[in-house]
Structure 1
Amino acid sequence: MTDSSDFLPHFITEPIYVIAGEEQTPAAVETTTPEVASATAEEDSSPQMVEEPQEAITIKPIPTEGQNLKGCVIFVESSEPILDTASKEFLYKVLSSVKRGENDVLVANIADVEADSIEALLAEQNHKQVLCFGSNKFDKLKGETLYSPKQDGHKTYLSCDSLTAIAQDVERKKALWKALQSIFLG
């Protein structure tokens, strides 16, 4: 039995370029025959455009909790992995008032991430609503009025104070309740 790389130059007659830094297989190193290489050298005497390498964008994973069964993503900022116990209890109590449970939403702690990571998370999540508690990192809600739902197509966005601030202030609780009613109970 012969090596399959012996037949490769007969099937691929165009020049093969190896990009520096990429892993090479023995078959990929020399795939053009000498006749093809000299013919392409004559044809290819025009200057070649070389692109500058672009900076790699690192998307940092965001700590999340929940299964997003009802298409609702909730952004929080916390020093805890997701939320401290009191804030988590308050959040789920508020969500239960609009018929949402722990698995109906996806809670994401965006304290240590950049806007690219937030956009990547939203791109992979099927969501109809985004609630943002105590953060200005989410670009769509920068400069928006707190407790005032924003429609963007079929999606609704809401910016609020932090869960701790809401839990301690009756007026903020009322404002949140009114906003959530308009979003979830229509």
Structure 2
Amino acid sequence: MATTDSLAFFQNFYTDVSLYVVAEPGPASQVSDVPAASSVAATAPAPVVAVVPLVPVAVLVPTPALVASVPPPAEKPPVPSIAAATPAAMPSKLPSLASLPLTPLPPTPPPPVVVPAAATPEPAQLFSVPTLAELPAAPAAPDSQPGRVQPSPTQSPVAHIPFATLGSNPNGLLILVRLPADEFRKLPRNVFLNNILKAIRLVMEDVVLVNVEHDKFPVALCTLRKTLAAKQFLAFGKNLLDVAVYTTQPYEPVLLYGDTAFLGASEIKMLEYDAGRKKQLWHAMQRMFL
């Protein structure tokens, strides 16, 4: 590009800045060729030249110590081959069972020895039954009245005498009374009778109340045993059980026929207000139940 054209370009580019062109050293012919540029430079104000120092660029040269301190790049793990990851092909034919070795079975242990139990315990009874003490046997019937027949546990001339019962324990203690029907229904709530049962560790649910429904004749033992299996009798009154009419005494517990315990006492109304008879009854019950 010509010098004149360059000067005109920079004057247009830098509007507010005056520029000048430094003449390059050369032959004289070349200086004389640019009169217009000299005249223009003479008329223009002196330009300001900005001198920018050159910054030396440092070139880093690696030293041997620096190269030694840099660790080498880690080697990458080898990529597994696709052929190695492929499982081995299944055999086309399974081995014969005859070629397999025979493994002996472990010996069979002998069967356990079962020791039979000595005795199977009987189930617990629903109601408690008092344990009877050793009682003397009842004496034989006297021969002073030959016209009367002593009844037995299986036959009796008074087997037809009716009776009523209250209670749900056929194997418990039987309490014999002779009362009107209304008083008999109230007997389970009698305080004196409940205290008597409590003294021998029983409650009203452990006994069966039997009311003889005849004014003179007793109830038959054979008739009671058709519906009740109890073998313990406590009679409050006279002439209440046929087999005990001639062979028992009040407040003397005895065994009738070897398996039936019987104890006779006065009527409940008399016992409630008589301390002496209460004492006799308590001693007799201790010999029979405790």
Same fold judged by TM-score > 0.5? yes
Quote the Cα distance in structure 1 between the aligned partners of 2:283 and 2:193: 15
State how 1:150-161 maps to structure 2 within 5 Å: 150-152=254-256, 153-161=258-266
Offset, 1:128 = 2.4
Quote the Cα distance in structure 1 between the aligned partners of 2:275 and 2:269: 12
Among residues 137, 158, 163, which one is paired with 2:268 in the alignment? 163
Deviations 1:50-107 (A, max 9, x none): xxxxxxx984642211123652111001113425459832112111110111111111
Offset, 1:125 = 1.0
Deviations 1:29-51 (A, max 9, x none): xxxxxxxxxxxxxxxxxxxxxxx
Q: Is 2:246 the counterpart of 1:145? A: no
Deviations 1:9-43 (A, max 9, x none): xxxxxxxxxxxxxxxxxxxxxxxxxxxxxxxxxxx
Is the radius of gyration larger for structure 1 or structure 2? 2
Q: Is 2:273 the counterpart of 1:136? A: no
Amino acid at match of 1:140: V
Task: Please state which structure has a larger fraction of its residues in helix.
Answer: 1
Assess if the C-alpha contact under 8 Å between 1:141 and 1:158 holds in 2.
no
Quote the Cα distance in structure 2 between the aligned partners of 1:95 and 1:167: 14
Quote the residue 1:104 is aligned against.
206
Unaligned runs of 5+ residues in structure 1 are 1-56
| Same amino acid, percent of matched pairs | 27
Shift of the 117–151 alpha-carbon distance from structure 1 to 2, 3 Å rule, reads: closer
Assess if the C-alpha contact under 8 Å between 1:78 and 1:84 holds in 2.
no
Assess if the C-alpha contact under 8 Å between 2:251 and 2:284 holds in 1.
yes
Shift of the 175–94 alpha-carbon distance from structure 1 to 2, 3 Å rule, reads: same
Quote the Cα distance in structure 1 between the aligned partners of 2:210 and 2:234: 10
**3-state DSSP of counterpart to 1:123:** coil
- TM-score by length of structure 1 reads 0.60
Q: Is 2:283 the counterpart of 1:181? A: no
Among residues 225, 250, 257, which one is paired with 1:122 in the alignment? 225
Amino acid at match of 2:211: N
Shift of the 126–102 alpha-carbon distance from structure 1 to 2, 3 Å rule, reads: same
Unaligned runs of 5+ residues in structure 2 are 1-157
- TM-score by length of structure 2 reads 0.40
Assess if the C-alpha contact under 8 Å between 1:76 and 1:134 holds in 2.
yes
Root mean square deviation, CA, Å: 2.7
Aligned length: 129
State how 1:1-186 maps to structure 2 within 5 Å: 59=160, 61-68=162-169, 71-81=172-182, 82=184, 84=186, 88-112=190-214, 114-115=217-218, 119-143=222-246, 144-152=248-256, 153-185=258-290
Assess if the C-alpha contact under 8 Å between 2:232 and 2:261 holds in 1.
yes
Assess if the C-alpha contact under 8 Å between 2:188 and 2:204 holds in 1.
no
Offset, 1:115 = 4.1
Offset, 1:137 = 3.2
